[in-house]
C-alpha cells in the first residue's frame, strides 16, 4: 500500500483543522491559510474535497463546516451529534451502529451517498445550563 502524499498546503490545512479541535467553516479556514499563499475559496474547497476523499476530515452538512477526523474504515457509518448551542461535535464510530444501519437498508433498495448521520440537539453541558431547577427566593419575613 502506498503512503498518502499531501502537498505542503494540503498538509497545512489538515494541521490547522487538527489543531482547531472543532468544526470550522471553509472561509474561516481560508483566512488562516492566506499567509501561506492560498487566496481563493475555490482553492480551499479543492483541498477540503481531497482531504475528505482520503478520509482525513469530515464535512458536517448541517453546519457547513469541516472537522479533522480520520476515518478508520470508510465503510462504517458514523453517528455525529451536534449541539445547536455551543456546536460541540461528538462522533460515534461503532461496528454495531454500522450493522444496524446496513440491516435497515438491506430491504430498502437504497444506496447512501454519505456514511454519516448527523443529529442536532443539546450537549449535556448546554442542557444542564438551560434546565437548572428553579429556586424561589422567599421574601424576608416581616417582624
For 37-89, write each residue's pLDDT tens digit.
Answer: 989 999 999 999 999 999 999 999 999 999 999 987 778 899 999 999 998 99
Integer Cα distance of 94 and 81 in angstroms: 14
Residues annotated within the binding site for Zn(2+) are 83, 86, 123, 126
Average pLDDT, the chain: 87
Instruction: Determine the distance from the C-alpha atom of residue 130 to the mean position of all C-alpha atoms in its chain, rounded to a whole number.
Output: 24
As annotated, the residues of the chain forming the CATH 3.30.1490.190 domain(s) are: 73-131
Q: Cα-flanking dihedrals φ and ψ of residue 131, to 5°?
A: -115, 40
Q: Does domain 1-70 have CATH number 1.10.10.10?
A: yes
Q: What confidence score (pLDDT) does residue 71 get? A: 84
What the block records as the C-alpha cell of 136 is 424561589
Residues annotated within the binding site are 83, 86, 115, 123, 126
Residues annotated within the binding site for Fe cation are 115
Note the pLDDT tens digit of each residue in 91-132.
998 888 888 888 888 888 888 888 899 999 999 999 888 877
Q: Are 11 and 57 in contact (CB under 8 A)?
A: no
Angle between helices 41-53 and 26-33 (to 10 degrees): 110
Q: What confidence score (pLDDT) does residue 29 get? A: 96
Residue 141 pLDDT greater than 60, yes or no: no
pLDDT category at 139 given cuts 50, 70, 90 is low
Overall CATH class of domain 73-131:
alpha beta
Amino acid at each position: 500500500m502506498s503512503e498518502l502524499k499531501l502537498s505542503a498546503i494540503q498538509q497545512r490545512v489538515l494541521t490547522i483543522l487538527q489543531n482547531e479541535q472543532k468544526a470550522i467553516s471553509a472561509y474561516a479556514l481560508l483566512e488562516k491559510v492566506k499567509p501561506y499563499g492560498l487566496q481563493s475559496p475555490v482553492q480551499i474547497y479543492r483541498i477540503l474535497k481531497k482531504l475528505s476523499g482520503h478520509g482525513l476530515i469530515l464535512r458536517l452538512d448541517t453546519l457547513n463546516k469541516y472537522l479533522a477526523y480520520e476515518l478508520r474504515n470508510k465503510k462504517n457509518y458514523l453517528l455525529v451529534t451536534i449541539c445547536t448551542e455551543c456546536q460541540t461535535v461528538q462522533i460515534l464510530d461503532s461496528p454495531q451502529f454500522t450493522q444496524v444501519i446496513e440491516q435497515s437498508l438491506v430491504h430498502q433498495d437504497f444506496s447512501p451517498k454519505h456514511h454519516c448521520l448527523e443529529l442536532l440537539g443539546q450537549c449535556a453541558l448546554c442542557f444542564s445550563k438551560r434546565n437548572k431547577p428553579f429556586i424561589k427566593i422567599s421574601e424576608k419575613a416581616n417582624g
